[in-house]
Amino acid sequence: MDTGLGSSCRPHDESGALLDLALRASGAGHWSWDLGAQHGSWSDEVYRMFGERPDPDGGPVSGETWRKAVHPEDLAPTQARFAAAFAERKDFIAEYRIRRSDDTIRWIRSRGRVLVDDAGRPRMVGVSLDVTAEKTQEARLRASEERFRTTVESSLDAVGIYSAVRDASGAIVDFRTDYVNAAACEFHRIPREAQIGKTLRELYPAPRAARGIKRYARVVETGEPLFNEALHYENENDDPDGRLQRAYDVRAVRMGDGFMATWRDITDRVRTEHEVRETKEMLEALINNSAAAIFVKDASGRFLLANPRVQANFGLPQSQILGKTDHDLLDPESADVFRRNDLEVLRTERVLEGEEEMVINGKVHTFLSLKFPLRDRHGNPYAVCGVSTDITDRKRVEEALRESELRFRNMADTAPVMIWVTGTDSACTFLSQRWYDFTGQPLERALGRGWLDAVHPDDREEIWTKFLTASRLRESMRLEYRLRRKDGEYCWALDSATPRFGPRGDFCGYVGSVMDISDRKQLEDGLRKSEERARARAQEIEAMMDATPAAIWIAHDPQCHVITASRTAYEMMRVPLTQTNISKTGAEGDTVPHIRIFRDGKELRPENLPIQKAARGEPARDWEEELVFDDGDRITIFGSAVPLLGPNGELRGSIGAFVDITAFKRAEAALHDERQRTEEALRAADRRKDEFLAMLSHELRNPLATIRNAVGVLHCIRSDNPRIERLHDMIDRQSEQLARMVDDLLDVARITQGKLGLRKERIDLAAIVSRAVETSRPLIDAAGHTLSIKLPPGNVMLEGDLGRLSQVLSNLLNNAAKYTESRGQVRLSAEVQGDEVQIRVEDNGMGIAPDVLPHVFDLFTQSSRAIDRAQGGLGIGLTLVRTIVEMHGGKVAAQSGGAGQGAEFTVRLPIHRAAPAEELPAPTSEERGLMCRGEPRRILVVDDNVDAAESLALMLGYLGHETRVAHDGPSTLQIAISFQPELVLLDIGLPGFDGYEVARRLRAQRETRAAILVAITGYGQEEDRKRARKAGFDHHLTKPVDHDRLISLIDTMVSPVDVPA
């Protein structure tokens, strides 16, 4: 195998051998390529990089071998660079990926140089290095930086970055806000834009700002991090004698010529600590005198010794610790870790050193623990002794330093200048990304002293000498020199640097910034032209002030003694143009405009007007005020006023612009009145809608009752024709579905009117499920679905309305059946979770689209599977589900993986944990129904709807009962006296007098007093049932009558109980 650089440059001498050894030691491989022969040679290291085996005969490497290995996306650009290097006789530099025979991807960095022999034949020699690890690390660093940015902005802790404001002597007098995260804005209830650029003195009260500046200045000047709890009291000077108002946990570290702080509100904790301070004084004294926690535990983990620090950590006296184990004193997770480490010491009989965590006062503390076995006189370990030092603060400092380094690099790369850092040896250790973007230098060439290559050759020696001199004297420096851009052009740059010192004052190197100042030269040359343009602009502004429709005021001094204004301002203030100064705060002797100015109903003093406030450095934005003139007339104006600054940033006055919005305010008031009238009209329309829905539901019950009665009759008449029987079943199912829809519609009207009531009782979950399955079974069976039910063992008792809760589950089962293709799977399961029972209804049907899922319980919502509409229904079933569940103190939720993924509805209801129910009292005479006798009965059917009455009587007749029919109140009383019915099915809405009056008269007559009275009505609310019982009814049925329930009621009758005359 050829391990040299080619046939003409094998290592025949000592220097060649050394070069070969150096390449091997660095992990690099060398290669050569003969352009004419189109083949080359690889060293063993290159073969290993590519996952290939060398040719045992030492044969050349073909171009095809290399091309097959190179990643398809990198092949063309790499070949182009290779060809360009040959053509232009330039160095070949490339990074590309290869796919090895084991399918692993590796990154290769290659550099080559073209050599020409005496015959003019070119070849290239070069080296290659596997840089996969470097590329992987770069990707991790980028991900880490992105995580940092995301973490800071989404952190629940408030974070702020501030830069120092220094006076002429260099002393820190304030700090300016450079950055605050969203939590800091929420914490202070100040928008980000209102904080950025403001100083602490501008944002906070003077005493508080002064204390903060002093603390943070120490952080910046000394580099020592700040860990502090800031306490603010209600009195003006934050005197600790006052009542504690707020407390913060503040952390601050130096960042350049400023600091970064994080803080959180710990007011509750500090107040609690203040309240219990006296009771903990003795314990705190013991903690302060203890350097480390020292303890001894026996083989079973019981404490044999606990020094004051251990007592402080547990917050218990020694008497309550000795004899206890960690599981008696700590949370299970921490206790498990402590016990595992103790057992490891006893098992191995060796010293164990490591970190352990323990919760102290609600916070996790980290301890450096040293544990070792204690031996008896026979040398056997009988106990564990430990020494634990709290290193929580040290861990926090280390983490803060790591975060600070990451933040610095991130900020440096995003800064508008080029940032650099050197060590004590003057070698550059860091350059921000802007340096590489500006100069085009690669990282490996720029670090160290390679950055000097980008400096103009005529400037290098001078600036290097100045840099070394300043470094020797530990002084700051400012250098100007020419710097080459990546396009080859030189630009003037300003380089400013400050020495870095460690916490102990030891010199660490320099940190500096480089900025392009080429434009400064041009600015100096164009200064004269700029002044001319400024004078022209002033004239233009004067003209603009007269032409603009807004009123403009300009204060020419911070005291606003002199204010000039536009023509519109004079007109707005009704002041003659001859009055040159229209300031309300003019100098003594000046004429002041006679105008009173109000804001929010309060008259403003002249010094609190917007122009005056802005002149003091307090911008007045979106300012609205009212001008009241001597004649009582008044106008409303709106605008803003901002400070005017001098060349050095000093306040020199202010400017404000305002417009007359009187007409707008009047129109706004009129619009408000109109909006109120419109809203009242909408509420009235909504009430009418609710009343219509209730009436519609009621009126639908009469024809529906007739249909249901006719179906009942048809079922009594058995037919041998299967088609007729099938039609019977179809009519029965559809009429039952129509009845449920009418009930749902009426329930919606009750919901919107707030009248949906519950009849709560103690019921078993199994009874609810049984009734719901019974209701939904026809629809499930008709679709050929498989229904599986899984309930928890034993009785799960709930307090609720059996009918309503059954309605919830039947609605969910019906939904699952409707939205699942034939022969699907429907599952109903329940499990107890603490004080709740969780009921799931699942299907493998069409699923719910993600955009529909959030609205699945909304009323009348429509979509592909919005709510009940897509497969039939009114779109109200799930709305009723949510309402009924919430009325029972529960919750309901829907989940779906999307179209075709099925759906899952989860209902959570509280479990009734009451004591075992007492025996129910025996029925009273008013209940009048006990055990079934199965005898034919005399039944009187009363309804003003002839079809409904006749059809119900016909069905009862087919069942073997004797029936009579009446259609109004008077005829009912006559027929009842002669017929003497055992059971009266009595409609409430009758001509003559209503069903309530009929019931009262039947109870008053001896012949009918003992009859069982059943109210038949389209109204089924609780107040309707109460009214029926008060009138003398025994039962209350809602139209259309459930035939099974009616037949069951008849079958359970006995002979009427004797009633006294």
pLDDT, tens digit, 9 for 90 and up, residues 527-584? 767 777 767 776 767 667 766 778 888 888 888 888 888 888 888 888 887 776 778 7
Average pLDDT over residues 882-901: 92
Say what the pLDDT of residue 632 is: 86
Sign of CA dihedral 595, 598, 601, 605: negative
DSSP lists the bridge partners of residue 365 as 358
Q: Which of 351, 354, 273, 357 is nearest to 313 (CA)?
A: 357
pLDDT, tens digit, 9 for 90 and up, residues 306-348? 898 888 888 899 889 899 999 998 889 989 999 999 999 999 9
Cα 987 to Cα 967: distance, rounded to the nearest angstrom: 9
Average pLDDT over residues 1021-1050: 84
Average pLDDT over residues 979-996: 89
Say what the pLDDT of residue 62 is: 85
* Alpha-carbon distances, residue 858 vs 820, 841, 852, 883 (angstroms): 21, 19, 10, 11
H/E segment holding residue 624: strand 620-628
Say what the pLDDT of residue 920 is: 35
Residue pair 497/512 in contact by the 8 Å Cβ criterion: yes
Q: Return the higher-pLDDT residue of 897 and 539.
A: 897
pLDDT, tens digit, 9 for 90 and up, residues 383-418? 999 998 888 888 887 777 777 677 777 777 777 889
910 pLDDT more than 90: yes
Say what the pLDDT of residue 28 is: 87
Quote the percentage of the chain above a pLDDT of 90. Answer: 33
Q: Which of 504, 509, 506 is nearest to 222 (CA)?
A: 504
Average pLDDT over residues 483-497: 91
Say what the pLDDT of residue 821 is: 92
Dihedral, 595, 599, 601, 604 alpha carbons, nearest 10? -60
The least confident of 187-196, 448-457, 502-511, 928-937 is 928-937
Strand 293-298 to strand 303-306: parallel, antiparallel, or no bridges (unpaired)?
A: antiparallel
590 pLDDT more than 90: no
Task: Provide the whole-model pTM.
Answer: 0.33
Residue 424: strand, helix, or coil: coil
Strand 634-645 to strand 651-660: parallel, antiparallel, or no bridges (unpaired)?
A: antiparallel
3 pLDDT more than 50: no
Backbone angles phi, psi at 318, to 5 degrees: -60, -35
Say what the pLDDT of residue 749 is: 64
Q: Which of 142, 125, 130, 64 is nearest to 97 (CA)?
A: 130
pLDDT, tens digit, 9 for 90 and up, residues 108-149? 999 999 998 888 888 899 999 998 888 888 888 888 777 767
Residue 231: pLDDT band by 50, 70, 90 thresholds? low
825 pLDDT more than 90: yes
Say what the pLDDT of residue 108 is: 93
Quote the percentage of the chain above a pLDDT of 70. Answer: 82
The least confident of 506-515, 729-738, 757-766 is 729-738
Average pLDDT over residues 625-653: 89
Say what the pLDDT of residue 727 is: 65
Average pLDDT over residues 690-717: 66
Tokens describing residue 57: 């005969």
925 pLDDT more than 50: no
Cα 575 to Cα 630: distance, rounded to the nearest angstrom: 12
pLDDT, tens digit, 9 for 90 and up, residues 948-973? 788 888 888 878 899 999 988 888 99
* Alpha-carbon distances, residue 503 vs 32, 134, 185, 254, 390 (angstroms): 53, 33, 32, 11, 23
Cα 655 to Cα 643: distance, rounded to the nearest angstrom: 7
The stretches of 415-526 forming alpha helices (DSSP H) are 433-439, 443-446, 457-473, 518-525
Say what the pLDDT of residue 10 is: 44
Say what the pLDDT of residue 198 is: 94
702 pLDDT more than 70: no
Average pLDDT over residues 806-823: 92
pLDDT, tens digit, 9 for 90 and up, residues 768-792? 998 889 888 888 988 899 999 999 9
> Could you identify the residue written with the tokens 């001078």?
462
Residue 292: pLDDT band by 50, 70, 90 thresholds? confident
Q: How many CB atoms lie within 10 A of CB 6?
A: 18
921 pLDDT more than 60: no
Residue 672: pLDDT band by 50, 70, 90 thresholds? confident
Backbone angles phi, psi at 229, to 5 degrees: -105, 115
Average pLDDT over residues 43-52: 88
Say what the pLDDT of residue 828 is: 96
Peptide bond into 1040 cis (omega under 30): yes
Say what the pLDDT of residue 97 is: 94
Cα 870 to Cα 400: distance, rounded to the nearest angstrom: 58
Residue 729: pLDDT band by 50, 70, 90 thresholds? low
Tokens describing residue 903: 């759906």
Cα 325 to Cα 342: distance, rounded to the nearest angstrom: 12
Mean pLDDT (the chain, rounded): 82
User: 587-623: string of b/e by CB count within 10 Å (b at 16+)?
Assistant: eeeeeebebebeeeeeebeeeebbbbbbbeeeebeeb
Residue pair 172/220 in contact by the 8 Å Cβ criterion: yes
Complete domains list, the chain, with CATH: 14-135 (3.30.450.20), 155-275 (3.30.450.20), 283-393 (3.30.450.20), 419-524 (3.30.450.20), 551-660 (3.30.450.20), 690-723+926-1061 (3.40.50.2300), 757-910 (3.30.565.10)
The least confident of 64-73, 215-224, 389-398, 598-607 is 389-398
509 pLDDT more than 50: yes
Sign of CA dihedral 324, 328, 329, 334: positive
